[in-house]
Structure formats: structure tokens, C-alpha cells
Amino acid sequence: MSASFDLTLPDEVVAMRQAARGLALGRLDAVAREVDTTGQVPADVAGHLRDMGFTCVVDSEFGGGGVPDTHTQLIGVETLAHGDPSIVGAEVFTGGGALLLSLLGTAGQRRCFLPGAAAGSAAAPAVALYERFEPSPRAYDTEITRMTDGRYLVRGEKVAVALGGGADHVIVVGRDPEQNVLRAAVVALADIEVASAPAQGHLAMSSAGLTRIRFDVTVDADALLRDEADGVTLAQAVARTRLLPAAVALGGATRAREYATRYATERVAFGRPIISFQGVSFTLADNHMQLDAARLGLWSIATALDGFDDDRLADEVGRIVAECHAAATTATRDAIQILGGHGFLTDHPVELWYRCTALLSTIDCDPRFTRFAPAV
């Protein structure tokens, strides 16, 4: 990836970041433990996040805050995740359909779904994107095939589909086997088999209702999203969708590293703060460098999405996503170790952040490529 980018953030992005950080360290941080217990995001918190316009992106034409560029959205999501990555992750997954429709929905699809999503009165379709641990479109088993009568056969199986937001439609992303390109189609939930019930009672992520589904259904041509609109291709929109959970993981891991650093400066052992010991200070320094490197990779590809052909884009996004999740799971695990036995107790929030980053890493990445991520 050879594209260059400016690390200096525009004034409006700096102001946005400050507002997002205020919400993160205020309301999100305050309800994080409660939400971890109940598995439900309070309505006012979901409303605040929706109003920020990063977890549920809706075109201004339909009452939303507009569609930010990819770089700005990633910064916003990561900053919000500083408060609680589980809450923000749940809202990112349930808001994925609004983003795809705002970018590539047809006029009819946008009129049907986006006003309700912007107002919070109805859910946009869920997104059925992930398959096992093979997010690259070339590896998709799901097929969207044009039939002789002009309709399309949508057949396959997906995991981590966010049905907890109350969506009654699903945007299925699959491969056209004849042209070997991405397709996406809106399918009614009534035509889909829910293959597994979502886990309940663990993290705010459970409110997203991440579920495995199967489908074998025929849809009309007007159910398909556009392949390209305003210079954005479906491959680029899918890539953007995949980058968002990686940004959430980085936000949570950065908070865990900061917490562990502060703890290490205050915790005294053998007459001095434990941060003075190389085993602690070197670990924290390594975490800092790894998170920064992953963040720079994330920002770099966000500014270069239109510089790749569709085949190269999927591979490059996969590499960056894996790096982000590896850095995040390592940093949060190390934070627990630095706190020692306290790290495993709910007296400190690092165990919550670790559970969330570990879960996120298993959705888009094979656990073999992310250190310490548990297999599912």
C-alpha cells in the first residue's frame, strides 16, 4: 500500500473527536457495567450514538446527519469505543444496513428504510456479511445468481448477523458466480432460516443479537443494491463495513492500555511503582507501538479505498483488520496481566474490554491469526 496521507486532522474532525470523547468518558463509561450485566443498551445511549452519526449513518436527505468519509467515521467510532467498545460495537453492527443503503441503496430502498433508521423508530436491514472466517469475496460460498426470468437466487449461510435491532429485512452480501463480482440483495427475514439463537447476557454485544442464518430464496431485481454510486463501489462499501469493528477494538484496547499504565504508576511492589520494572514498562511500550502501527494502517487504507481494484482491496483490508485485532487482543490481555489477580475481577474494567476485543476478533478473523483470541 503506497498511498500517503496527512496525519493532521482538520479542525472539524478535532472538534468531533472532542465531542465523541466527552460522550465516551461520560455517559458510555457510566453505563458500561450495567449494560454488561443486562445485555441491553439504554434507549438514550443508543439515541446519543445515533445522533453522532458514526454508528448509524443515514443520508441527510432522509433525516440523518449525512455520510462522513471513511477516515472520519473510523476516528469517530474508535473515539466512542474509548468509553465502552461493547456498546459501540453493538451499535456498529446494528447500524451496518443504514450505511450500505446510504451509500448504495436504490431510491426505493432508501425511502423505505432510512427515515425510520434516522428517527430510531424502525431498524434498517441487518447486514449478512461474514462467513465462517473467510471475509474475502473470492472465498464467499453465498451466491446471488441471475435467473433466466430476470430474478435472482440468493443462497448460502452467514454468521454474526445483527438481528437484535429488530430488523425485519437482511442485506445479504454474496458472489455472482457467473461474473465473479460482489452482489448485495435485500431479503425479508420471513424468508430466512435462523440457524442458531444468539447468546444472551454477555456484554452489550448481545443486544445486537449476532446470529447464524441460512437462506435459499428468490428475489426481484429491484431487491439488489447498486453495484456503484457516486464513485463508491460495493466492494469499497463492504470494505468500510469490515473496518469499523477493527476501529472499535482499537478504541477499547487503547483505553485498556491507558488504564494499565495508570495502575502501574500507582501500584507499588518491592518499594517502587511496578512500571519501573522492565517486564511491565517494556510490555506497555510494545502495546503502545503495536496499537499505533495498527491505527496508522487503518487510517491509511481508509484514505486509499478508491485506489485499489476490488480483488486487491479485500486482501489488503483483511490484512489491516487482522493487524488491528491482533494488537487489540494482545494489549487488553497484557493489561489484565499487569493488574495481576485484580485484572480478572469486575472491580476493574479491563476484563470487560478484553472480552469485547476477543469477541470482535473472532468475527472477521480466523483466531489462528490473532494472538490470544478464543476460538468459537
Query: Which of these ranges, 32-36, 72-76, 279-283, has the smallest mean pLDDT?
Result: 32-36
Mean per-residue pLDDT over the chain, rounded: 89
**For the purposes of burial, counting CB atoms within 10 Å of the CB of 80, is it exposed (0-12), middle (13-18) or buried (19 or more)?**
buried
When pLDDT is averaged across residues 284-311 and rounded to a whole number, the result is 89
Question: Does the pLDDT value for residue 6 go beyond 90?
Answer: no
Q: Of 233, 244, 239, 243, give the one whose Cα is nearest residue 181.
A: 233
Question: Does the pLDDT value for residue 280 go beyond 90?
Answer: yes
CA angle in degrees (0–180, nearest 5) for 269-271-276: 70
**Under CATH, which architecture does the 232-369 domain have?**
Up-down Bundle (1.20)
In CATH terms, 126-226 corresponds, of 3.40.50.300, 1.10.490.10, 2.30.38.10, 2.40.110.10, to: 2.40.110.10
Instruction: Report the half-sphere exposure of 33 (CA within 13 A, side-chain side).
Output: 8
Question: Does the pLDDT value for residue 360 go beyond 50?
Answer: yes
Query: 195: pLDDT confidence band, cut at 50, 70 and 90?
Result: confident
When pLDDT is averaged across residues 306-330 and rounded to a whole number, the result is 85
Strand partners for 187: 170
End-to-end Cα spacing for the chain: 32
Q: Residues near 92 by Cβ (< 8 Å), separated by ≥ 6?
A: 55, 77, 244, 245, 248
CB 145 within 8 A of CB 152: yes
Domain locations in the chain as residue ranges: 11-119, 126-226, 232-369
What would the DSSP string read from start to end of 278-306? HHHHHHHHHHHHHHHHHHHHHHHHHTTGG
Chain segment 251-276, per-residue pLDDT in tens: 999 999 999 999 999 999 999 999 99
Say which residue the cell 441487518 belongs to.
Answer: 126
Distances 107 to 124, 234, 307 between C-alpha atoms, Å: 15, 16, 27
d(CA 167, CA 87): 18
Question: Does the pLDDT value for residue 311 go beyond 90?
Answer: no
In CATH terms, 11-119 corresponds, of 3.30.450.20, 1.20.140.10, 1.10.540.10, 2.60.40.1120, to: 1.10.540.10
Question: Does the pLDDT value for residue 206 go beyond 70?
Answer: yes
